[in-house]
Amino acid sequence: MKIFTAEQIRDWDRFTISNEPVSSIQLMERASEALAGWISENCKNYRKFAVFCGNGNNGGDGFAVARILYLKGFDVDVFIKDSRSKFSEDGTVNFKKLRDFSGISIKEFKDIEQNHFDSKTIIIDALFGTGLSRNIEGEYKEIIDQLNERSNVKISVDIPSGLFTNRIFQKNATVFKADYTLSFQSWKKTFLHPETGPYAGKVIILDIDLSKEYISHTETDDFVIDDPVIENIFKPRSEFSHKGTYGKVTIAAGSYGKIGAAVLATKSALKSGAGLIFTLAPSCGYEILQTSCPEAMFIKGGENYIDHFDIEKDTVAGIGPGLGTHEVTEKGLLDFLREYHHPVVLDADALNILSKDSENLKLIPEQSVITPHPKEFERLFGSTLNSFERLKLACEKAAEFNIYIVLKDHHTQVISPDGNVFYNITGNSGLAKGGSGDILTGILSSLIAQGYSHKNACILGVWFHGKAADLAAEKYSKESMLPTDVISEFKNVFNMINKKVTNKL
């Protein structure tokens, strides 16, 4: 799914209106029907709505939603700035329709002080849409601050008021904090970053049938990894295949006291489909690895630490989990990278070793994949003010070194050397545990070995990792789920995607 800027979204509306053809007021009605439909279906235990409407088309959506919800049998109050308010052309049309219903009370913002909404009242934010270009001030700021103090369930129309579509707000800005955001047609970039995304709550994308032609011919660098993207990438296994068909992986991982990381990465590579797995680890982990991962072959890389990296050129190397940063390991890794020019997957301590000297970054083979979390990224490339700036820097570094950066976060971003960014929307906070990144290293190494391009392996890999985590969370809870539980769900994710791609019953 493509992610568009605010201006592109407005162009998308105009293109749909011009080419369907449909009038702007009809398109607003279509959007409002979708909003009210979702709300009425999912909020059956609530009987009253307080809809706060601004002067633009977002407010027009709010007026139409209020009318439709009233006709569906809900009690509705509508709040506007004051009786002198002037609305957009389409907003005015829907405001006039609203006044025909005597059962809908139209109140002013100042009246909120006399309205103590009970727990069965839902607050709907239709104050500002995607066209907002400055911080909210005055009476709108006051009303949003008051609404944020209420404990009621809150829903935003299209985007929480105060958020910008694809950039961060200024410090101390006023932003409506929604529990749910019902947005139209596609994700907004602001929903996917840690500073801004929490204001949107749970995001629901409603299809209002905007022009598909516009999607196909409009360029963007930003994408969301959704099911159609994955279905286009995934390759079912051929019945006429053998272990050599699915490649070799060498996991270089582990040190004294950290062999568990090597086990997790190895198991992950095994369970995600690679044909042959080798684990390069210190001899202190030999019995543990041979017992826990008998399907993988062991290669001795040292005694308590890996001090030499004997990795063949016909294998995909996943390097870093539990590696440690001992001086013998550091020397061994840097010597290896000076001589080895095939793409590798680098994670964890491999990145920490590289970050000790900026000159080390030049040793990363082109087309390699690195998987830093925000702190590791900072150590590698420098600090930034926020995640938007961090992403911009990641795009620059991916192009500079011709590598793929998997920037781990709540919505992990895959950044390709050509400047494309793919946001992952699977996964949950249950992955905030040691070992989760080790699993991802195994998955990515395995998928590359199976013949996926590095770009597609990253996209499929982060989605797959998150999807397995979502299934694990359902079964064990986010608090109790373990990385091994995530690996156990690989089979269910594969079954799910195979059925979709091959149309099996």
Instruction: For the beta carbon of residue 395, count every other beta carbon within 10 angstroms.
Output: 20
Q: Which band of pLDDT confidence, cut at 50, 70 and 90, is reported for residue 461?
A: very high
Confidence (pLDDT) at 505: 44
Rounded mean pLDDT, 283-309: 97
- Say whether the peptide bond before residue 21 is cis (omega within 30 degrees of 0): yes
Q: Which band of pLDDT confidence, cut at 50, 70 and 90, is reported for residue 259?
A: very high
Question: Residue 91: which of 40, 42, 122, 51 has the closest Cα?
Answer: 51
Predicted confidence (pLDDT) at residue 494 exceeds the cutoff of 80: yes
- pLDDT tens, residue by residue, 101-121: 989 999 999 999 888 889 999
Confidence (pLDDT) at 176: 97
- Say whether the peptide bond before residue 365 is cis (omega within 30 degrees of 0): no
Partnered with residue 460 across adjacent β-strands are none
- pLDDT tens, residue by residue, 200-229: 999 999 999 999 999 999 999 999 999 999
Q: Which CATH number applies to 6-220?
A: 3.40.50.10260
Domain ranges across the chain:
6-220, 240-502
Quote the CA–CA distance of 271 and 445 in Å, as a whole number. Answer: 12
Quote the CA–CA distance of 301 and 287 in Å, as a whole number. Answer: 14
Tell me the whole-structure pTM to 2 decimals: 0.95
Predicted confidence (pLDDT) at residue 385 exceeds the cutoff of 90: yes
The percentage of the chain sitting over the pLDDT mark of 70, rounded to a whole number, equals 100
Cα separations in angstroms, 497 against 234, 436, 442, 457, 502: 8, 22, 19, 15, 8
Rounded mean pLDDT, 286-306: 97
- pLDDT tens, residue by residue, 330-353: 999 999 999 999 999 999 999 999
Q: Which CATH number applies to 240-502?
A: 3.40.1190.20
